[in-house]
Amino acid sequence: MAKLGAWGAGAHHDEQLVKSRQRVADHGEVFTPRWLVDDMLDLVKSETERIDSRFLEPACGSGNFLVPVLERKLAAVQARHGRSDFEKRHYALFALMCVYGIELLDDNAAECRANLAATFARYISPSEGIWLRAAEAVLAVNIVQGDAIAMTDATDGHIVFAEWGYLGRGKYQRRDFRFDDLTQRASASVGLFEAFEEHEIFSPIRTYPPMTVQELAA
């Protein structure tokens, strides 16, 4: 695993793997320990160290998988773009844009967003409000409270995910897709968000004009 530096998470000797017995009984909620997460991520090590690889955790809890994925991506950002503050920050936000989660329980979803935002903030340090607001805007879209099996959000509507792209020179592209369409695409071919131009049926439900960090933060 790449070294994470001061902004990375340390060892978790006193991890809380169960919040309550009632939640285990009601929802089967048990969190994965960090050592096991790291071992599993090492099985796809090259993907975890790609800034633009996209990870979806369909039962993301408070971010036990997604935070280590983001840490590894940020280590890759530091290695490749650390000498330029402009590139480092823009690619760090893009790394965050490539992390997705679905969580049934609203408190876990909020905690997951907070944990990912804190990981991003530690890397950006000294943190600037505009970057943190942009990160929160991304996480509001990327971490969805809903049912991954039913593919519905907390209002029983379709789960929608944003495909983010970094265009360079401080500009990002966003296109929204329905999760049920993405899963059909993934089962038929190479993965989420891949080569949509070849399959017009998997067209975005909305495409946004290129936007800057300032526009995202607003």
Q: What are the pLDDT digits (tens) for 36-71?
A: 888 888 898 989 889 999 999 999 999 999 999 999
- Residue 113 contacts residue 96 (beta carbons within 8 Å): no
Please give the pLDDT value at position 31.
59
Per the prediction, the chain carries an average pLDDT of 84
Task: Count H helices and E strands in the chain, helices first.
Answer: 9, 7
Instruction: Give yes or no for residue 218 having a pLDDT over 80.
Output: yes
8-state DSSP, 14: T
pLDDT in tens, 114-157: 999 999 999 997 767 999 999 999 999 999 999 999 999 999 99
Please give the pLDDT value at position 140.
98
Please give the pLDDT value at position 88.
96
Radius of gyration of the chain from its Cα atoms, rounded to whole angstroms? 17
| Pairing, β 152-153 against β 55-57 | unpaired
E runs forming strands in the chain: 55-57, 99-103, 143-147, 152-153, 160-168, 171-178, 206-207
Question: In which band, very low, low, confident or very high, does the pLDDT at 26 lie, cut at 50, 70 and 90?
Answer: very low
* Residue carrying the six token digits 């990375």: 8
Average the pLDDT over each of 7-11, 95-99, 112-116, 177-181 and give the range with the smallest value. 7-11
Euclidean distance between CA atoms 168 and 159, whole angstroms: 28
Domains of the chain, by residue range, sit at 27-217
- Residue 56 contacts residue 102 (beta carbons within 8 Å): yes
Closest CA to 49 of 84, 90, 85, 79: 79
